[in-house]
Amino acid sequence: MSADVTPPNRTTYREAMRQAIREALLRDPRVFLMGEDVGRYGGCYAVSKGLLEEFGPERIRDTPLSESAFVGAGIGAALGGMRPIVEIMTVNFSLLALDQIVNNAATILHMSGGQFNIPLVIRMTTGAGRQLAAQHSHSLEGWYAHIPGIKILTPATLEDARGMLWTALQDPDPVLIFEHGTLYNLEGELPADASAVAIDKAAVRRPGDDVSLITYGGTLGKALQAEELSAKGIDAEVVDLRTLRPLDTATILNSVTRTHRAVIVDEGWRSGSISAEISARIMEGAFYELDAPVERVCSAEVPMPYAKHMEEAALPHVHTIVETVSLMMGDRG
Amino acid sequence: MPALGADMEAGTILEWLVKPGDAVKRGDIIAVVDTEKATVEVEVFDTGVIQEIIVPLGEKVPIGTLLALIRSDGEAAVPSAPKPTPAAAVAKVTAAPTAAPPAAAKPLRPQAPPRAERPAQLPTPPAAPGRLRISPLAMRAAVELKVDLSSVKGTGPHGAITRADVARAAKAPKAPPPVPPTAVARAPVPSAAAPAAAGAPEISAAATQRRAAIAPEERREAMRKVIAAAMARSKREIPHYYLGTRVNMGRAMTWLQAYNLQRPVTERLLYSVLLLKATALAARQVPEMNGFWVDGAFKPAGAVHVGVAISLRQGGLIAPAIHDIDKKPLDEIMVNLRDLVKRVRAGVLRSSEIADATITVTSLGEEGVETVFGIIYPPQVALVGFGKITEQVWAADGMLGAKPTVMATLAADHRASDGHRGGLFLAAIDRILQEPDEL
Amino acid sequence: MSDDEIKAMVLRELGKIAPEVESEIDPATDLREQIDLDSMDMLNLMIAIHETTGVDIPESDYPQLATLGGCVSYLRTRIK
Amino acid sequence: MALETDLTQPALERDRALARLREMLRIRRFEEKCAELYSAAKIRGFLHLYIGEEAVAVGALSALEADDAIVATYREHGHALARGVSAASIMAEMFGKREGCSHGRGGSMHLFDATARFYGGNAIVGGGLPLAVGLALADKMQGHARVTACFFGEGAVAEGEFHESMNLAALWKLPVVFFCENNLYAMGTALKRSESEVDLSLKAASYEIPAWPVDGMDVIACEDAARRAVAAVRGGAGPYFIEFRTYRFRAHSMYDPQLYRSKQEVEQWKTRDPIATFQARLSESALLSEADLKAIEDDVAQEIAKSVEFAEAGTLEPVEDLTRFVYSERTPS
């Protein structure tokens, strides 16, 4: 590596994820990519475009539409000594493989008394915002974060899209990576030598003193755009969770202990969501630091409507974040 | 009674398929049992002759209860019933009557699952130093019951104060008179429990001794925090406005010299006593300067208790009140003031003195400052400041002369009063000081 | 009372008024600056001296007792 | 499809015959002891006994090599014993002891043994099939000449995972052999009441997988069929499927009232008890003497008694270890 820092280059979240997969395939012969239309079609979100031509059909394997079988096969191959990356097209189809993920991937290590671990990575797209209506717009990463035995990552930045995969592949246990559909076209700078990042800690993307905005994945951008807050003299700290399991409780409590207020932004439905869990942990760990009850900005509890204005109304937005925070801060004149 | 299913605790014999004297071998079905979920055949695991049926038809018994006895082949019948051996559904009787029945393991009473201790407590970050750990409910109770929180010991999690703690403190007999919680911010020095004697109480040995026990820096640090909190709150919440006027002190100082000349040192007055009395009398004339801003409204105070800002040599400031200055003669005010300063500096104060000042005076004249614009002590609504006495050129009645003067200033809460009323108040102080013998 | 006895007496009274002060008292510098005494402290000192020595110090003489040395020389001649 | 039996088989050589008899008797006596211990409440939870189907496990397992892989189901004591998992470690597992083959964490339905490449029981009907496909995929991609044997009951053919896995295995010509134990009843539902097509071999054939039925009560027929299939699969012919037609003499699990079948039917099948028939056949061909049989029975009885002692003497896992084996404590090899 040259002594000086290699110049950052313009790239996208999608490109960063493709580089991550490509790097893993080059570095470790045990790594292979398996999923619906990942080969000839180049990936439903074009993340794996060009990989079939470079690595061949043995390591870039298109699968039949049999989520339970190919996710189960991924688990078996991991048991058999491989390092599979299984791509489920979207979280919506992962429901068909829920049994394999919950009853096999997350549980075999425990049932076998520690004999068999499953070094498997499953990637899937999540979230709404592109008028795909109810069946194609779910945001269920919060569900998966309920399950002991697996880890849940939500990369929201280019560094994380580029750096999380390799660390996940080294993990001896199953890691699920949720990529929000609206992030693929996110542009930004990324140093050419960008590489693996840690996957067990949250990150403070914007320090602040008055309120902790806690969020992840597709809603991080919205939290960072809440400029009106600074216009109103409210100094918001934005915490990017990066991992929903394990949840980085220490960073959350540290932030809330300083700001004494918390607003959690979560695209999931409010009832039984990851935001509910975070709110409970803040209540348990920082009750005496709170100057106001924890607030949550979540999706409306409705199957995602098709019409644009309706979908917009259902989803958490910058203005909902600003209103919630302003209300919480009381009239600051 | 065999365990016949994962969720079964007891069973009822529906049918006996054997009777005493019948020969049985391993695997034979000897009874039919109802397990609430199903009727199930019961097999025997020993070979021998049924000697006795113990549990009759229709009786519900828990798992492990002895149902019947089998005599192994060729053994003599055993007259007395052996100690129940709950191991096998049907106990095997060994030949020698005296021999204990086969060492039957105690049936596995469904052990209470070993209590996994509570998952490790979430790491609670230590409360910021000086921050009071008190539940919102307890805080509300403290306000209602007027409990001085600084003396309440928390029994809640991590020593937090709960409502029960507050209620207990409210009922405690000799608890110091209740202090509105806001006073918490202003009670930097551990309040003495010294009896509130009317006259100047001697400083009790216990109080001094208790004061010494607390390391000085600790005390200073605690005081600094409390002052910081109060001042920050005042600046944040009170829209201050400021007025100032220069007061001719000529007549007052001349009157004072004459007064002191006729008295031994123990009865002499300091000029600050005149300023305190003047302020108190002026406050009676402009009542909106004397009271509290609470719950969004001004509450006039019944009496005039003037808080006197007393600085401590090693830093820190307290403004305990001298009660009813407007009604007291100057010499009594002086005695109160001397005693107050002595007790402040000995760190021994009655909490009542700290809490209920209705207006405060700060005079930094001694430190050589001409003008002082103070910060109001919440929840009061006014603070009067006096600078040092300086000789100034003064024109009166067309004549020029040098006169001792003092800058009198007012910092007032614009929610409770307006500049016009503030001006009248300062003018009243000025006018009163021109008639020292009226004081 | 000898000069040393007077000095000791004044220092003892000062100790009661300003217990926090540990440093040596320089006899020549003004007490107010040296150990941050205000008019109330000075008054208390005067009263304490009066009560222990019987000497009554008129207000006009206060400036002569502004320093430790001044106190000693003022009282030397007045203490019976 | 004619049932393949080996009536025309020339005289068996003695050692092989006695070994098979011994294995079947080990399983039979072990399962009988389990029934007794369950009644005495020493074994809890669910217990699915293999009595009546011993020929399938002994026959099929004899056809496998040491480093082949096995994926089984919750009716797995016979397969585990025949594969070489010690009777003591299985009994200790059902006693919930730390010395159990799954550390006391799995129980009767989840026996695991890394050294025997025994990838467990699985309590989800059809849950193991995708795992087996994955293990085979890993072997193929790493060029191992290993075979994965996947056992499941006829009930699994109704699960989607059966069809997805068969298709994927055939599509990628994976070295997995599907051993279906058709014991006519999925818990309380007879095959003919759950499947439109009851000839399971035809189902497999629809995925271009060679398949035929075998008499599951004849240990030698089972072994020969298994050897043929395993050899072909190891040779790279892709997956094979064998339907062992067998019968369980006891309830689906400890104590169901068996209302779904008649006593006559059970008695009729008992006349074809795989141990009794095999024992008679060996005696007729003077391969088995009374003394041989007694020696085997005594030897088996002693092994079973020792396994119970081992289980009784076993220790309980300290509660403090509750959170172990959720995530790996060591990095994978």
pLDDT in the model for residue B222: 65
Does A329 have pLDDT greater than 70?
yes
Element containing residue B14 per DSSP (H, E): strand B10-16
Q: Mutate which of B9, B29, B108, B117 to test chain D, going by most D C-beta atoms within 10 A?
A: B108
Cα–Cα distances (Å) from D206 to A80, D202, D203, D228, D241, in that order, read 28, 6, 5, 20, 12
Q: Enumerate neighbours of B (3 or more CB pairs within 8 A).
A: A, C, D
What is the pLDDT, as a whole number, of residue B201?
A: 40
Say whether B125 and A285 touch across the interface (CB within 8 A).
yes
One-letter amino acid identity for A239?
A: V
d(CA D135, CA D118): 12
Residue A229 phi, psi dihedral angles, 5° rounding: -65, -50
pLDDT at position A5 is 54
* Of B236 and D202, the one with more pLDDT: D202
Closest to D86 measured CA to CA, from D68, D70, D100: D100
Mean of pLDDT values over B352-372? 76
> How long a stretch of residues is chain D?
333
Q: Is the pLDDT of residue C15 over 90?
A: no
Q: Using CA atoms, how far apart are residues B64 and D245, in angstroms rounded to an integer? A: 38
Tell me the residues of chain A between 163 and 222 that have a Cβ less than 8 Å away from chain D.
170, 172-173
Residue A7's pLDDT band, with cuts at 50, 70 and 90, is low
Q: Which residue of A has its CA nearest to B156?
A: A288
**Inter-chain touch B313–C21, beta carbons under 8 Å:** yes
Q: Give the per-residue pLDDT at D56.
A: 98
By Cβ distance, the residue of B265, B270, B313 closest to C39 is: B270
- The confidence score (pLDDT) of residue C40 equals 83
Mean of pLDDT over chain A: 94
Do B125 and A254 make contact, defined as CB atoms within 8 angstroms?
A: yes
Fold of domain A203-328: Rossmann fold (3.40.50)
Q: How far apart are CA A214 and CA A209, in angstroms?
A: 14
Neighbour count for residue B86 (Cβ, 10 Å): 20
**pLDDT at residue C14 in the model:** 85
C-alpha span between D303 and D306 (Å, rounded): 5
Mean pLDDT of chain D: 93
Establish how many alpha carbons lie within 13 A of residue D27's alpha carbon, considering only the half-sphere containing its beta carbon.
31
Chain C residues with CB under 8 Å of B266 CB are 47, 50-51
Enter the DSSP assignment of B192: B
Q: Given this model, what pLDDT does residue B27 score?
A: 87
Do you find a cis peptide bond into A246, omega within 30 degrees of 0? yes
Rounded Cα gap, residues A241 and A247, in angstroms: 7
Q: Assess whether pLDDT exceeds 90 at residue B340.
A: no
| The pLDDT value given to residue D232 | 98
Q: What is the mean pLDDT of residues D273-293?
A: 95
- CB distance D203 to D197 below 8 Å: yes
Tens-place pLDDT, residues D101-123 = 999 999 999 999 999 999 989 99
How far is Cα B347 from Cα B312, in angstroms, rounded to an integer? 10
Judged by DSSP in three states, A57 sits in coil
**Taking 60 as the threshold, does the pLDDT of residue B256 lie above it?**
yes
The secondary structure of D98-134 as a DSSP string is: TTSTTTTSS-TT---BTTTTB----SSTTTHHHHHHH
Q: What's the average model confidence in pLDDT over A291-302? A: 95
CATH topology match: A9-190 vs A203-328: yes
Residues B281-297: b if buried by 16+ CB within 10 A, e if exposed? bbbeebebbbbbbeeee
Comparing CB atoms, the residue among B265, B346, B366 nearest residue C38 is B366
A 104-123 residues inside an 8 A Cβ radius of D:
104, 108-117, 119
Domain residue extents for chain D: 9-313
| Angle, helices D14-39/D290-313, rounded to nearest 10 degrees | 40
From chain D, the residues in CB contact with A172 under 8 A are 327-328, 330-332
Mutate to test the interface with D, among B4, B8, B36 (most CBs of D within 10 A): B4
How far is it, in rounded angstroms, from Cα D204 to Cα D211?
A: 6
D9-313: what fold?
Answer: Rossmann fold (3.40.50)
Q: What is the pLDDT of residues A51-69, one digit of tens each?
A: 999 999 999 999 999 999 9
Mean pLDDT on C55-74:
86
Q: What angle do CA A213, A217, A221 make, to 5 degrees?
A: 60
* pLDDT top residue among D82 and B334: D82
pLDDT at D114: 97
Mean predicted confidence (pLDDT) in A74-97: 97
Nearest CA in chain A to D123: A103
Instruction: Judge: C40–B313 Cβ closer than 8 Å, yes or no.
Output: no
Whole-number pLDDT of residue B218: 65
Terminal Cα distance for chain D, rounded: 46
Alpha-carbon Rg of chain B, whole angstroms?
A: 43
Q: Is D179 helix (H, G, I), strand (E, B) or coil?
A: strand
**Is A136 considered catalytic here?**
yes
pLDDT in tens, A162-199: 999 999 999 999 999 999 999 999 999 999 888 899 99
- Among B266, B272, B313, select the one facing C18 at the smallest CB separation: B313
Residue A35 bridge partners (DSSP)? A62, A87
Q: How many CB pairs under 8 A join A and D?
A: 164
- Is it the case that chain C and chain D have 3 or more CB pairs lying under 8 Å apart? no
Say yes or no for a CB contact (<8 Å) between B116 and D322. Answer: yes
Residue A255's Cα: distance from chain center in Å? 21
Residue-wise pLDDT tens digits, A214-256:
999 999 999 999 888 998 899 999 999 999 999 999 999 999 9
User: What is the band of D312 on the pLDDT scale with cuts at 50, 70, 90?
Assistant: very high
CB-CB neighbors (< 8 A) of A284 in chain B: 122
Chains that touch D (3 or more CB pairs under 8 A): A, B
Q: In percent, how much of chain B has pLDDT > 70?
A: 72
Mean pLDDT, range A280-291, rounded to an integer: 94
CA distance D19 to D21: 5
B341: contact with C, CB 8 A cutoff:
yes
Categorize the per-residue pLDDT at B438 as very low, low, confident or very high, splitting at 50, 70 and 90: confident
Q: Where are the strands (E) in A159-310, listed by range?
A: 175-180, 187-191, 203-206, 211-215, 236-240, 243-245, 262-269, 295-299
Which of A280-284, B91-95, C30-34 tops mean pLDDT?
A280-284
Of the ranges A222-236, B127-141, B376-390, C29-43, which one carries the lowest mean pLDDT score?
Answer: B127-141
Taking CA–CA distances from B113, the nearest residue in chain D reads D319
Pick the catalytic residue from A15, A23, A54, A67. Answer: A67
The predicted-structure confidence for A262-274, as pLDDT tens digits, reads as follows 999 999 999 999 9
Q: For chain B, give the mean pLDDT.
A: 75
| Alpha-carbon distance C56 to nearest alpha carbon in chain B (angstroms) | 7
Higher pLDDT, D240 or B284: D240
Range with the poorest average pLDDT among A246-250, C16-20, D174-178: C16-20
Q: Which whole number is the average pLDDT over D90-100?
A: 96
ipTM field: 0.62
Q: Which residues of B touch D39 (CB under 8 A)?
A: 2-4, 42-43, 45, 88-89
pLDDT of C42 reads 86
Domain A9-190: which CATH number of 3.40.50.2300, 3.30.43.10, 3.40.50.300, 3.40.50.970: 3.40.50.970
Quick check: pTM over 0.80? no
| Neighbour tally for D4: CB within 10 Å | 16
d(CA C7, CA C71) in angstroms, rounded, equals: 8
Contact B327/C at CB under 8 A: no
What is the pLDDT at residue B38?
80
Supply the pLDDT for residue C13. Answer: 86
Query: Residues A140-144: what's their mean pLDDT?
Result: 97
Give the 3-state secondary structure of D229-289.
HHHHHHCCCCCEEEEEECCCCCCCCCCCCCCCCCHHHHHHHHCCCHHHHHHHHHHHCCCCC
pLDDT of the residue at C79: 78
Residue C52: the pLDDT is 85
Task: Give B-chain residues touching D254 at CB under 8 angstroms.
Answer: 4-6
Tell me the mean pLDDT in the region A281-302. Answer: 94
- Asked if D131 and A76 come within 8 Å (Cβ–Cβ), the reply is yes
CA pair distance D217, B100, nearest whole angstrom? 44
Contacts of B118 in chain D (CB under 8 A): none
Q: Which of A23, A136, A146, A260 is catalytic?
A: A136
| 8 Å CB contact of D165 and A78 | no
Report the pLDDT averaged over residues B45-56. Answer: 91
Across B355-369, average pLDDT: 79
Q: Which residue of A has its CA nearest to D331?
A: A172
Residue whose entry in the numeric block shows the structure tokens 């001044």: C70
Answer yes or no: is pLDDT of B41 > 70: yes
pLDDT at B339: 80
Cβ separation A75–D130 shorter than 8 A: yes
Q: Is the pLDDT of residue D3 over 80?
A: no
Evaluate whether B412 touches B359 at the Cβ level (below 8 Å): no
Q: Long-range pairs for B42-47 at CB < 8 Å and ≥24 separation?
A: B42/B2, B42/B4, B42/B67, B42/B89, B42/D39, B43/D35, B43/D39, B44/B70, B44/B89, B44/B90, B45/B88, B45/B89, B45/B90, B45/D36, B45/D39, B46/B70, B46/B72, B46/B88, B46/B90, B46/B92, B47/B72, B47/B73
State residue B151 phi and psi, 5-degree precision: -105, 5
Burial class (CB in 10 A: 0-12, 13-18, 19+), D291: exposed
Contact B45 D39 (CB under 8 A): yes
Kindly list the residues from chain B whose CB atom is less than 8 angstroms away from the CB atom of residue D256. Answer: 38
- Under an 8 A CB cutoff, do B127 and A286 touch? no
pLDDT at B282 over 60: yes
Domain boundaries, chain A: 9-190, 203-328
Q: How far is A286 from chain B (nearest CA, A)?
A: 7
Q: What is the DSSP letter of A100?
A: I
DSSP A209: S
Query: Which of A100-109, B190-199, C38-47, D113-122 shows the lowest mean pLDDT across its residues?
Result: B190-199
pLDDT band at B388 (very low <50, low <70, confident <90, very high): confident
Give residue B47's Cα distance to chain centre.
Answer: 75
Beta pairing, strands A151-153 & A211-215: unpaired
